[in-house]
Structure 1
Amino acid sequence: MRVHIADHPLITHKLTVLRDARTPSPVFRQLTEELVTLLAYEATRNVRVAPVQITTPVTTTTGVRIDEPRPIVVPILRAGLGMLEGMVKLLPTAEVGFLGMVRDEQTLQPTTYAERLPADLSDRQCFVLDPMLATGGSLGAAMEFLFARGAQDITAICLLGTPEGIAKIEEQVGDRDVTLVLGARDERLNEHGYIVPGLGDAGDRLYGTV
């Protein structure tokens, strides 16, 4: 498994504003979209492309286009929806699937309550969107769901991650083709399974509901 932690002052600046408890939901949503676009730049570095001939105003030349089958972007509902627009702005030809997961706040274990994905993902590059890699339970379960559909190449984009979450995903996926792209690696999980220093509940802060 490959782990890429972004090291860019714009990302750190935007994360700082996201972390601030005073940041209102509209600003939080806007910054999340901007951050995902920045992270997606790194996450798509190895997206598959095919050569294509084009004609410029001066001559003909060979460029590249996103190859078929198109990559698929999978936000984990509900908080992952707040990352979707920032991702498809950079990768507009991608298809979008959905995976609904919820974490039991007592056991911290995830369950899947909805999905809208192709039955066969065996030749698709999958980009999973999940704002917070905390315990690793939800993201790990989402990856296993995609692997069960035949996925072989998964990249997860998270705003924040913890050492505990990263270690869990690394242990779970083994030598399978997985990349984690994080805006930052935070200190730890607290006793309630929340990221410290973190930014609170990303879904509640995105949509203003508790």
Structure 2
Amino acid sequence: MKIHNISTENSILNSFIAEMRDVNIQKDSMRFRRNIERIGEILGYEMSKTLSYSTSEITTPLGACNMNLIDNNIVLCSILRAGVPLHNGLLNYFDKAENAFISAYRHHKHNPESFEIIVEYLACPSLEGKTLILADPMLATGQSMIATYEALKPFGTAKEVHLVSLIGAPEGVELVNKHFDANAHLWIATIDKKLDKNSYIVPGLGDAGDLAFGQKLQQ
């Protein structure tokens, strides 16, 4: 897998990540969602540099010019619910993409330190020969990404696979790196220090879904 850690170079991206981490700014859920969306736009722009292009002639009011335009047939799939603002950010740039949505969550059987990933809802077009962008803001253990990808396999074999996340842990990055083939890409805004005993990213930012949409009742 090709890993693109955008934070290795300083950019305006740093400001958006800093605001998402800040416990005072986090109180503004609308700003939190908007920052996820803006980071999605940045990651989408960086990703676009690696896609396939062909030349098309464009007619202007004064003549014609040749432009290199994206060839890829893109399917954008986000993991609900925290993935919605990230999905919107990517969709702002890949506005012709088909869309897929999937729910994946941690189910704790006995204690906070052990869980399994449950996939319940899935809506997806054909993936055959297309470019799959799989978006999930937090790449903690990596199990959600893998479970989601496995659930999508009945919909066809994608020509290319791009994973998109805001913040990851080394453990999760390592797991997806082992699971996906060498031609897959991971686009990530930053990679943090570690996972804690409950498999949450440290320093991280907390629960992205709760911060974006409000706290949920645990079942």
Runs (5+) with no aligned partner, structure 1: none
Secondary structure at the residue paired with 1:81?
A: helix
Q: Out of 24, 30, 34, which is 2:34 matched to? A: 30
Q: Residues of 1 paired with 2:11 and 2:137: CA distance?
A: 19
Secondary structure at the residue paired with 1:51?
A: strand
Secondary structure at the residue paired with 2:186?
A: strand
Q: Residues of 2 paired with 1:61 and 1:85: CA distance?
A: 31
Equivalenced residue count is: 207
Structure 2 counterparts to residues 8-23 of structure 1, below 5 A: 8-22=10-24, 23=26
Q: Out of 109, 120, 129, which is 1:113 matched to? A: 120
Shift, 1:147, TM fit: 4.0
Runs (5+) with no aligned partner, structure 2: none
Q: Residues of 2 paired with 1:151 and 1:91: CA distance?
A: 17
1:2 aligns with 2:5: no
Q: Residues of 2 paired with 1:111 and 1:202: CA distance?
A: 18
Q: Residues of 2 paired with 1:59 and 1:172: CA distance?
A: 50
Q: CA RMSD in A?
A: 1.6
Contact 1:134 1:164 in 2 (8 A): yes
Q: Residues of 2 paired with 1:174 and 1:126: CA distance?
A: 14
Contact 1:109 1:138 in 2 (8 A): no
In the alignment, what sits opposite 1:89?
A: 92
1:179 aligns with 2:185: yes
Contact 1:43 1:157 in 2 (8 A): no
**What TM-score, normalized by structure 1, do the two folds share?**
0.92
Distance 1:44 1:146, change over 3 A: farther
Structure 2 counterparts to residues 67-146 of structure 1, below 5 A: 67=71, 70-105=73-108, 106=112, 107-118=114-125, 120-146=126-152
Measured against aligned partners, the alpha-carbon deviations of 1:108-135 in whole angstroms (never above 9, x if no partner) come to 32121011112x3121101111000000
Secondary structure at the residue paired with 2:77?
A: strand
**What TM-score, normalized by structure 2, do the two folds share?**
0.88
Q: Residues of 1 paired with 2:201 and 2:37: CA distance?
A: 20
Measured against aligned partners, the alpha-carbon deviations of 1:163-189 in whole angstroms (never above 9, x if no partner) come to 1001101111243x3110111010000
Shift, 1:49, TM fit: 2.9
Secondary structure at the residue paired with 1:170?
A: helix
Q: Residues of 2 paired with 1:50 and 1:141: CA distance?
A: 34
Question: Aligned letter for 1:94?
Answer: A
In the alignment, what sits opposite 1:66?
A: 70
